[in-house]
Amino acid sequence: MDAEYLAERALAARANAFAPFSKFKVGAALETANGKTYTGCNVENATYGLTVCAERVALWKAISEGERKFTRLAVATSSPHPAPPCGACRQLLWEFCGDLEIVLVSAEGRRETRSLASLFPEPFDRTFL
């Protein structure tokens, strides 16, 4: 699967986002080592604290289906410039996926590809425990 296909899946997932408060819709598409794709969108709550990010929705869906090896993630946001995952998502992506390739897609179609390590240079993980 190529990055373009994954970006399109993230953009499609973004259409399902429930963001009545922030209006910041996000979609994600997570690619597994065996070529499957799991998508997610952000789901907001009035308290904001119970909101779930698109990246985590996609990750939880994949894990709940038994997936454990991941190769790439696409994140599509409603911002004019490509926006990276939040800190909480970076932490979870690092723990479950390692140094993942991340394709960032803006609402205006701009794309950037980054490594998770470049976005999260000094992660806390099990090596510290």
Active-site residue numbers? 55
Q: Which residues pair with 27 in a beta bridge?
A: 41, 76
SS3 state at 20: coil
In whole angstroms, how large is the CA radius of gyration of the chain? 14
Single out the residue of 101, 78, 72 nearest to residue 27, CA to CA.
78
Q: How far apart are CA 118 and CA 9, in angstroms?
A: 24
18-34 residues labelled b (16+ CB within 10 A) or e (exposed): ebeeeeebbbbbbbbee
